[in-house]
């Protein structure tokens, strides 16, 4: 079995990461009743003998002793990380996995990337190597960060570069929280566009997330649980409870419910690699199947049924509804409408009591309402993991490589241009060592090129499909 | 003689286990419906073919399990062991830490050469356990990366290491509506490479088996397990012992050799399809009776009309009139659907097989003109009933059965290749555009050969 390492950068990255570790622990606790350290656990956790002094040795077999997250926590402020260290998850991390500073990046990508990047490079590399040494087959790094601020965006993409240099063989999946239109960070368009260039060039896959979408989904779940007609009951042991389990004593933070959704995304994304199933999907299959051209690696995700994201038990509706919902606009984790855009590829990752016939039936049913690019008419990747999410019978994660991400990027470009034309706030960036005006022009042209690539694909939509004429054989 | 199975990738391992399960269950079942002597001979021939004796007395499958990820193999081993009836050799498996990621090039160019020695050592050991080795039966899918890429590589190694043994590749054809996005690339690469080193490719299409599960087995929620059981039944119906020569009291000695001899008269034609009737839920068996003439009539029409199962056969399709090379205009349409054969093998199991008339399969108009019709057809029989079916008939056919699926896979892959989509994922591991072109050319050749029968 392989291992993955999570690198959580900045306030957003660490808060989401924190939810991820909490839910991951609960998921494994629910599956692993015997308390034996197994392969599934080993993908995200080390088992450490803490009775020994210092950095205890890893225990590969036998009882769970002390689980340590395969993670690196990076923030240029102390607040969030300190809170984690005082919270219920404190035992999962130790001081050797942390990199913090006191002054923050002032919502400035250049400070995060250039200043802190330079300053902490060695420290980061050393800690990454240490984490990697504890893995016998490191397969993937998951970076969790936001695009709008300074640390997550700047230092996060700096780490992405480091990873490529230091571990070229290891996959780099990035979960990026994009700023919404009314973001309170004025410079967020700059930071996001500068970060996008790095994501374009150095990530294997990017899972874009928009807070607006998370917010809407949380509200929707809220309404579902309130409206009595669904006959919902509180689920004690589902993964999203804030009232049960390890976080009992902690006041729920406003972002927690939203962050739980992202945490679930990562859990479902990796479930088939961690647990058994009749059709496994290893992480290396994701980019192989979903990335037809190197830069087009942005995957729009949706999680259904929504109630698996809440601590409620809504009477199970038709299984097929779960599949339909995965394609509807209001279940996407960014503001996008895949149904009315062009699919390059689509993956359906199913967990629980769902069989291949359910997959086939739904693919055949949904296919006519979706547009696929001419050369990938059967662009489906499917997986079946036998272990459902905690407290539920089944779930679906859909990953779409779809031109519907384009509007998000175009909007970002517009907001960038509005500032950039006036040269607003530019001086804050240009005064940072190593930051030139050309960084801005290169970043925006990288984004424009990406948008253009999607445009070209969109232009083929609805056109006549002609088959490439086949090779002729001399008979 | 013995057959060594090589189970590759998730698909190969899941199906392989089901095959051994079926074979074991059938050989030890109490529904043989034949003389005690016959039953014993059948049982012994089966044991020699597929199992070796362990000290513990539990039969050990003659198999090598290969995957690049550990989960499937460990599950396969433990489910087999839990059956208590048979098991895999504890040492006869090989896995690594991560799969080939659905990348044929990764399996073929990286995992293959890197693990060649270890895998071939296991194969060698398994082969040495056989007093007489008939050959190898590899089981794999062509859509993933390990079964397909590593499978193609291992097949080449088998060919080099065992030049005189037979190699039959069992290949799972992916659902045509898509389940691995690069499945058509992987399939084109797999088929073209297997065509070079394998003696024959025996194909099961997931779509077809899925339909059988739904329409004949009446399974509501179909799992891979269900699909695999149908596949295992069909394979068992071919590979379980049978008498290859009329009135011979001995069971055939070289099952793979016999198969190839009948079915593969020319190296350009290696694609074998399999049909089996009847198939029904176990609890309906007791209430059903079948007559041989009825079964044979169906099976023959399934052959000429290229029907995938006994339901929905087009009974209008007829063989072309003897002597007329140019069909008369009104029958052209039907003739278009006529499935021309190179060679066919029918296997009958159960009651009264000796009296069955198979003349309708010997009809020269079923076959391509360049082969002597006498050589193009063969039948194997045994009075031993198979897997609880009082009567069971199987057809292994080297015909135009797979022409359409092949043409469709090549066409889809070619469309994708024209856009260059996903090609970078392969060049990363050392498969160049040239290699793709070679594979396309090879398969267009196969398509053209089968088309022009
Ligand atoms: N009939 C059947 N098909 C299966 C089964 N498992 C997988 N498949 C098919 O196999 C193809 C996927 O290939 P896998 O066997 O999973 O891949 P692999 O050989 O393990 O290769 P990698 O996972 O890429 O390393 C798809 O066409 C699946 O439908 C099974 O148990 N039965
Ligand atoms: Mg696999």
pLDDT of res. B443 = 98
pLDDT of res. A315 = 45
| Residue predicted with more confidence, A464 or B387 | B387
Rounded mean pLDDT, A373-391: 95
pLDDT of res. A237 = 44
Average pLDDT score over chain B:
94
- Strands B93-95 and B51-52, by their bridges, are unpaired
Distance in Å from the first CA to the final CA of chain A = 49
Q: In the CATH scheme, what is the homologous superfamily, with its name and number, of domain B282-319+338-400?
A: Tubulin/FtsZ, C-terminal domain (3.30.1330.20)
pLDDT of res. A461 = 87
Residues with CB under 5 A from ligand 2 (ion): B 10, 99
Distance from CA of A281 to the nearest CA of B (A): 8
Which ligand 1 atom is at minimum distance from the Cα of B148? 19
B60–chain A Cβ distance below 8 A for any pair: no
Q: Does A244 score more than 70 pLDDT? A: no
Distance of CA A386 from the midpoint of ligand 1 (Å): 15
Measured in degrees and rounded to the nearest 5, phi and psi for residue B95 equal: -145, 165
Measured in degrees and rounded to the nearest 5, phi and psi for residue B379 equal: -135, 140
pLDDT of res. B103 = 98
Q: Does A242 score more than 80 pLDDT? A: no
Q: Which candidate from B69, B181, B224 shows the least CB-CB separation from A379?
A: B181
Is residue B134 within 8 A of residue B165, CB to CB? The reply is: yes
Nearest ligand atom owner, CA of B101:
1
Probe site for chain A from B15, B17, B71, B414 (most A CB atoms < 10 A): B71
pLDDT in tens, A301-347: 999 988 766 654 444 457 899 999 999 999 999 999 999 999 999 99
* Structural domains of chain A in order of their starting residue, each with its CATH number: 3-50+62-220+256-407 (3.40.50.1440), 408-460 (1.10.287)
| Residue predicted with more confidence, A180 or B1 | B1
Neighbours of A46 (CB within 10 A): 23
Which ligand 1 atom is at minimum distance from the Cα of B147? 19
Cβ within 8 Å of residue B408, ≥6 positions away: B176
Q: Which of A30-44, A170-184, B35-49, B191-205 reaches the highest mean pLDDT? A: B191-205
Measured in degrees and rounded to the nearest 5, phi and psi for residue B315 equal: -80, -5
* Out of A63-67, A470-474, B269-273, least confident range: A470-474
Distance from CA of B144 to the nearest CA of A (A): 9
Distance of CA B140 from the midpoint of ligand 1 (Å): 8
pLDDT of res. B287 = 87
Q: Does B266 score more than 90 pLDDT? A: yes
Confidence of residue B388 (pLDDT cuts 50, 70, 90): very high
- Report which protein residue has its CA nearest ligand 1's atom 16: B10
Which ligand 1 atom is at minimum distance from the Cα of B225? 31
pLDDT in tens, B156-168: 999 999 999 999 9
pLDDT of res. B252 = 76
Distance in angstroms (rounded) separating the CA atoms of residues A156 and A117? 9
Q: Does A241 score more than 80 pLDDT? A: no
Measured in degrees and rounded to the nearest 5, phi and psi for residue B413 equal: -65, -40
Distance of CA A280 from the midpoint of ligand 2 (Å): 6
pLDDT of res. B253 = 79
Domain range summary for chain B, segments of one domain joined by +: 2-265, 282-319+338-400, 404-452
Radius of gyration, CA atoms only, chain A:
22
Which ligand 1 atom is at minimum distance from the Cα of B183? 27
Distance in angstroms (rounded) separating the CA atoms of residues B304 and A9? 65
Touching A: B residues 78-97, CB under 8 Å: 97
Q: Which of B143, B149, B171, B209 to mutate to test the pocket of ligand 1 (most atoms within 8 A of CB)?
A: B143
pLDDT of res. A309 = 62
Torsion of CA A100, A102, A107, A108, to 10 degrees: -80
Q: Looking at chain A, which residue has its C-alpha nearest residue B175?
A: A360
Is residue A261 within 8 A of residue A215, CB to CB? The reply is: no
Distance of CA A285 from the midpoint of ligand 2 (Å): 9
Rounded mean pLDDT, A211-217: 93
Matching CATH number, B2-265, of 3.40.50.2300, 3.40.50.1440, 3.30.40.230, 2.40.50.140: 3.40.50.1440
Rounded mean pLDDT, A126-154: 96
Distance in angstroms (rounded) separating the CA atoms of residues A188 and A206? 18
Is residue B278 within 8 A of residue B392, CB to CB? The reply is: yes
pLDDT of res. A475 = 64
Distance in angstroms (rounded) separating the CA atoms of residues B331 and B335? 6
B210–chain A Cβ distance below 8 A for any pair: yes
3-state secondary structure of B179: coil
Measured in degrees and rounded to the nearest 5, phi and psi for residue A29 equal: -60, -40
pLDDT in tens, B289-327: 999 999 999 999 999 999 999 999 999 999 987 655 554
| Helix or strand run (H / E) with residue B137 | strand B133-141
Distance from CA of A348 to the nearest CA of B (A): 9
pLDDT of res. B326 = 52
pLDDT of res. B254 = 87
CB contact under 8 A, B175 and A290: no
Rounded mean pLDDT, A406-415: 96
pLDDT in tens, B28-77: 988 778 899 999 999 999 999 999 987 888 999 999 999 999 999 999 99
Rounded mean pLDDT, A180-199: 92
Confidence of residue A248 (pLDDT cuts 50, 70, 90): very low
Q: Does A250 score more than 50 pLDDT? A: no
| Residue predicted with more confidence, A49 or B97 | B97
CB contact under 8 A, A379 and B223: no
- Share above pLDDT 90 across residues of chain A, in percent, rounded to a whole number: 79
Q: Does A466 score more than 90 pLDDT? A: no
Is residue B307 within 8 A of residue B274, CB to CB? The reply is: no
ipTM of predicted complex = 0.93
Bridge partners (DSSP) listed for residue B166: B135
Nearest CA to A83 out of A280, A323, A247 is that of A247
């Amino acid at each position: 079995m392989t291992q993955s390492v999570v690198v959580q950068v900045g306030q957003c990255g660490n808060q989401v990461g924190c939810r991820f570790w909490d839910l991951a622990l609960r998921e494994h606790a629910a599956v692993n009743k015997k308390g034996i350290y197994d392969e599934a656990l080993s993908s995200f956790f080390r088992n450490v003998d803490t009775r020994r002094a210092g950095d205890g040795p890893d225990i590969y077999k036998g009882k769970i002793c002390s689980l340590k997250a395969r993670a690196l926590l990076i923030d240029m402020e102390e607040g969030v990380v300190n809170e984690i260290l005082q919270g219920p998850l404190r035992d999962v991390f130790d001081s050797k996995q942390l990199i913090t500073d006191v002054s923050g990046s002032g919502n400035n990508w250049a400070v995060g990337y250039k200043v802190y990047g330079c300053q902490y490079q060695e420290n980061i590399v050393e800690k990454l190597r240490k984490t990697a040494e504890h893995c016998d087959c490191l397969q993937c790094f998951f970076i969790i960060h936001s695009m709008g601020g300074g640390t997550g965006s700047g230092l996060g993409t700096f780490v992405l570069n480091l990873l490529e240099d230091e571990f070229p063989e290891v996959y780099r999946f990035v979960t990026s929280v994009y700023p919404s239109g009314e973001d309170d960070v004025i410079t967020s368009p700059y930071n996001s566009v500068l970060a996008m260039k790095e994501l374009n060039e150095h990530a294997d896959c990017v899972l874009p997330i928009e807070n607006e979408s998370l917010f809407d989904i949380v509200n929707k779940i809220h309404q579902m649980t309130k409206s009595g007609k669904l006959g919902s009951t509180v689920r004690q042991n589902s993964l999203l409870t804030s009232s049960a389990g390890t976080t009992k004593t902690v006041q729920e933070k406003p972002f927690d419910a939203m962050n739980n959704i992202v945490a679930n995304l990562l859990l479902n994304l990796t479930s088939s690699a961690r647990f058994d199933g009749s059709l496994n999907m290893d992480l290396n299959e994701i980019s192989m199947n979903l990335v037809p051209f190197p830069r087009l690696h942005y995957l729009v995700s949706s999680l259904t049924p929504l109630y698996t994201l809440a601590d409620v038990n809504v009477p199970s509706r038709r299984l097929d509804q779960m599949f339909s919902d995965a394609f509807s606009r209001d279940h996407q984790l960014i503001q996008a409408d895949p149904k009315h855009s062009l699919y390059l590829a689509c993956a359906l990752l199913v967990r629980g009591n769902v069989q291949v016939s359910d997959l086939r039936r739904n693919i055949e049913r949904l296919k006519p309402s979706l547009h696929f690019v001419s050369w990938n008419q059967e662009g489906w990747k499917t997986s079946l993991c036998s272990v459902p999410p905690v407290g539920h019978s089944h779930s679906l994660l859909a990953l779409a490589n779809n031109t519907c991400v384009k509007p998000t990027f175009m909007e970002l470009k517009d907001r960038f241009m509005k500032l950039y034309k006036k040269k607003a706030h530019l001086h804050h960036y240009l005064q940072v060592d190593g930051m030139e005006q050309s960084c801005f022009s290169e970043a925006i042209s990288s984004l424009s090129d990406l948008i253009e690539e999607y445009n070209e694909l969109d232009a083929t939509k609805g056109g006549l499909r002609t088959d490439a004429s086949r090779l002729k054989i001399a008979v | 003689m013995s057959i060594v199975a090589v189970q590759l990738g998730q698909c190969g391992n899941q199906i392989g286990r089901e095959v051994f399960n079926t074979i074991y269950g059938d050989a030890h079942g109490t529904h043989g419906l034949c003389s005690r002597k016959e039953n014993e001979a059948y049982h012994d021939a089966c044991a020699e073919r597929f199992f070796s004796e362990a000290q513990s007395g539990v039969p050990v499958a003659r198999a090598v399990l290969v995957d690049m990820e550990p989960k499937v193999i460990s599950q396969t081993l433990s489910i087999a062991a839990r059956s208590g009836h048979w098991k895999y050799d504890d040492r006869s498996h090989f896995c690594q830490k991560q799969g080939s990621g659905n990348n044929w090039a990764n399996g073929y160019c990286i995992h293959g050469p890197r693990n060649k020695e270890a895998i071939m050592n296991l194969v060698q050991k398994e082969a040495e356990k056989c007093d007489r080795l008939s050959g190898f039966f590899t089981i794999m899918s062509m859509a993933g990366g390990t079964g397909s890429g590593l499978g193609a590589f291992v097949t080449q190694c088998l060919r080099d290491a065992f030049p005189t043994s037979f190699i039959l590749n069992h290949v799972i054809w992916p659902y045509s509506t898509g389940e691995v996005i690069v499945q058509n690339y992987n399939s084109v690469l797999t088929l073209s490479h297997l065509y070079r080193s394998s003696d024959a490719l025996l194909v099961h299409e997931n779509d077809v088996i899925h339909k059988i599960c739904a329409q004949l087995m009446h399974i509501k929620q179909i799992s891979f397990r269900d699909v695999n059981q149908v596949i295992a039944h069909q394979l068992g119906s071919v590979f379980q012992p049978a008498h290859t020569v009329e009135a011979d009291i001995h069971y055939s000695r070289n099952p793979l050799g016999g198969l190839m001899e009948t079915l593969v008269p020319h190296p350009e034609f290696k694609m074998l399809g399999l049909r089996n009737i009847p198939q029904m839920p176990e609890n309906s068996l007791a209430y059903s009776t079948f007559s041989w003439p009825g079964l044979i009539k169906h099976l023959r029409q399934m052959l000429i009309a290229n029907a995938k199962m006994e339901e929905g056969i087009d009974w209008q399709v007829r063989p072309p009139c003897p002597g007329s090379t140019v069909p008369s205009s009104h029958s052209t349409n039907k003739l278009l659907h006529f499935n021309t054969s190179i060679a066919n093998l029918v296997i009958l199991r159960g009651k009264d097989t000796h009296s069955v008339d198979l003349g309708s399969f010997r009809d020269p108009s079923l076959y391509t003109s360049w082969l002597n019709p006498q050589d193009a057809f063969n039948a194997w029989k045994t009075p031993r009933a198979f897997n609880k079916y009082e009567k069971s008939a199987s057809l292994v056919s080297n015909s135009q059965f797979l022409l359409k699926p092949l043409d469709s896979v090549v066409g889809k892959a070619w469309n994708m290749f024209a856009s260059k989509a996903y090609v970078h994922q392969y060049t990363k591991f050392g498969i160049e555009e040239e290699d793709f072109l070679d594979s396309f050319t090879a398969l267009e050749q196969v398509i053209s050969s089968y088309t022009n029968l």
